[in-house]
Structures are given as structure tokens and as C-alpha cells.
Amino acid sequence: MKRVQMRTFAKVLAVSAAAALALSACGRSSTTTPGAASTGSAAKSGFAANAVIGVALPQKTSENWVLAEGLFNKGLAAAGFSADVQFANGGVGEQQNQISSMVTKGAKVIVVGAIDGKQLGTQLQAAKDSGATVIAYDRLVLNTANVDYYAAFDNFKVGVLQGTALLDGMKAKKPNGPYNIELFAGSPDDANAQVFFNGAMSVLQPKITDGTLKVTSGQTAFNQVVTQGWKPENAQKRMDTLIAAHYGSTTLDGVLSPNDTLARAIITSVKQAGKAIPIVTGQDSEVESVKSIMKGEQYSTINKDTTKLVAETIKMIEALQKGDKPTVTDATSYNNGTKVVPADLLPPVIVTKDNAAAAYQGTSLEQYTK
């Protein structure tokens, strides 16, 4: 299997844990070459230093998106551009309209954090026809040739860190298994959700197979464990149902949660059921979750510093403005189903009680101690 075939496209679209294992077994990290030159085709002759730059963000499903809005507005203005930053809380149709409107306004670069990575084909074709460069931000855009770059954290690695934290946390509490766990994934329309899950399962599946881990409900397939719309109420409801059906007298040792908003919903469900809080993972270093980790409730989160990702994206835009090719770290691995998208990937950092105080996303650590 070729690397390009096996990586993100497979990661995004594969539905079996076996595929996830095949991916991890093939040694994906060897494909990353920091500082390697881009093979992107977008850079031509640059554009006006005060051009319109569109940023299409999804719904406010986690703090990182809200932070990104402010950072893009500030950073793009400071770089001299005219920023058009939009949220699409109304859903896919609203995001499609926003991107069309950015094209109409003559945006030279359109940065897209897609709600549904498969539903922007028409709008991105129009963007391309208008001469705009398209950067997928945080979430890869799928099945279109009209995406030039991808700026993100290494999402597979996020999942690997989550799976590892779940195991470490449970071992620290109870040195020997078997451990009873449940699995949660993000929203299936977000291309990242499958990647996080595959990363985590690359660590967890061998332990399920050897009996160290027992998924009591038996729900281990991605489509059985997804959380539509990344909505905490959906995760809470599912956890309520799982507890009622499977954890009468059985101890729940751990829960794989793909992000912080869902982790807190899972913890709420467990508390309301009067159960001891299991090891619960997360992602995003949200203020409430860092507080929860410091209190000893949520076990872990992942710091994906939004400040850095926005800064990196603006650096790409500045290069394009000058007519240069942006630097990317991985020019071979992110096949979106139609093309390999040159990617600039930042490393995610695991956060537990040990380093929680240092891992904050906001402007001041005081937020976490209030």
C-alpha cells in the first residue's frame, strides 16, 4: 500500500478499526519532513497587500473556534488585510452561502474550517474559478481538487495521545486490567472525527483484542460511537443509556472522549448516575476542562494552541500575497480523495494534572484558577 493512499484519505474514510491499525502499522510519522518545500500549485504572482481574506468557520462547538475568530480578525488586520471572518451556526447551507459571498467580495484567500468536509465542492470550484487560494483550516476538505493547502494539528497523533492517556490513567488507578471502557467519537460530518478515532484505536484495539480492555456495551465501530454535531447533549444522553444498560453493578474504568465539551458531558452523566468518575480523555484545553483536570475529575486534554495555528495560517497567506509558496511540513500524506493536499502540521501536546497549569488557551492563566 502506498503511503499517500494509506494516510488521510484512508484515515478519513475507512470505517474499520482494522484499517486504523494498518495505518499505524505502516509508520506514518516517517512521511513528515519538517520544513520541506511545498508542492502546492496556488502561488502565482501574489495579490494586493490589503486584499480581502475570507475565513469561514464552522459552528461554535468548542472554544478553539471562538478563539480562532478573534485571532484571525486581529492577525489579518495587523498584517494589513481586510478580514471577512464568519461563523456558520446555522449549518452547512449557511457556510456554503458565506463562502459564495467571500468569492463575490473578491477574497484572494479563503480559509475554511468545514462543517461538512464533503459538501463544499460547488463553492470551492467558484473560489478557484475566481483565482482565490483555498486553505483548509483544522479540518480537511474532502473530494475536491479545489483546496490548495491544509493547516492543522496532527489529528491522528491527537487520537494516539488520547488512547495512550486513557490506558495510562487507568493503569495509574488500578495497575492490572481488565478495564471496562466505553468509546465516544466526534461528529461524522467532520473529517477529523474519524481521524481522531482511528488514532485512538491504533492504541486501544490491540488491548481490546488481548482482553486488557473490555468495551462492555460492545460498541466499538465508529458509526456506533459518533456524536452528531459534536453536541454535548448527545454524548450525555448516550452515556446515560450506556450506564443504565451496562453499568448497574459493573465498574466503568475509562471513557475515550474525543474532546473537552463531550468529556464534561460524559462526566456530568456519570455523576448524575451516582457513579465514580472514570478516566475520561479530552481535547482542546478548554478552560472548564483544565479546571476539571486540576480538580482531579477529567483525566486529560490535548493542547492544540489556536494562537499558533492561526499564526501559521496567516504566515501562509502572507507568503501567497508575495507570490511565494507557503512552507509546508508534509507534502505527501493528506490525500483528500481527489488530490494530495500540502499540509502544515503542528504537534499536539498531551495535558494531565502534571502540566495542566501551563496548558492554557486563553490570554491568562487566571481563567483556570478562578
Residues in contact with ligand BGC, counted by CB under 6 A, come to a total of 13
* 64 touches ligand BGC (CB under 6 A): yes
Choose which of 98, 283, 303, 313 interacts with ligand BGC (CB under 6 A): 283
Task: Pick the piece of the chain touching ligand BGC (CB under 6 A) from 45-53, 57-65, 241-249, 328-336.
Answer: 57-65
Rounded distance, CA 232 to CA 73, Å? 28
Closer residue to ligand BGC (CB): 178 or 347: 347
* 289 touches ligand BGC (CB under 6 A): no
Closer residue to ligand BGC (CB): 51 or 337: 337
Single out the residue of 336, 345, 283, 349 nearest to residue 29, CA to CA. Answer: 345
Q: How far is the CB of 192 from ligand BGC (least distance, A)?
A: 4
CA atoms within 13 A on the CB side of 73: 9
Choose which of 192, 217, 227, 236 interacts with ligand BGC (CB under 6 A): 192
Closer residue to ligand BGC (CB): 216 or 352: 352
Rounded distance, CA 24 to CA 159, Å? 11
Q: Which residues of 343-362 are buried (b: 16+ CB within 10 A; e: fewer)?
A: bbbbbbbbbbeeebeebbbb
Name the residue with cell 462526566: 267
Max Cα–Cα distance, the chain, nearest Å: 67
* 305 touches ligand BGC (CB under 6 A): no
- Within 79-108, the residues that bind ligand BGC by CB under 6 A are none
Q: How far is the CB of 190 from ligand BGC (least distance, A)?
A: 5
Closer residue to ligand BGC (CB): 243 or 282: 282
Residue 173: what residue type? K
* 303 touches ligand BGC (CB under 6 A): no
Rounded distance, CA 278 to CA 251, Å? 9
27, exposed or middle or buried, with CB in 10 Å at 0-12, 13-18, 19+? exposed
C-alpha cell at 96: 456554503
Site residues (vs ligand BGC, CB under 6 A): 61-62, 64, 138-139, 186, 190, 192, 230, 259, 283-284, 304
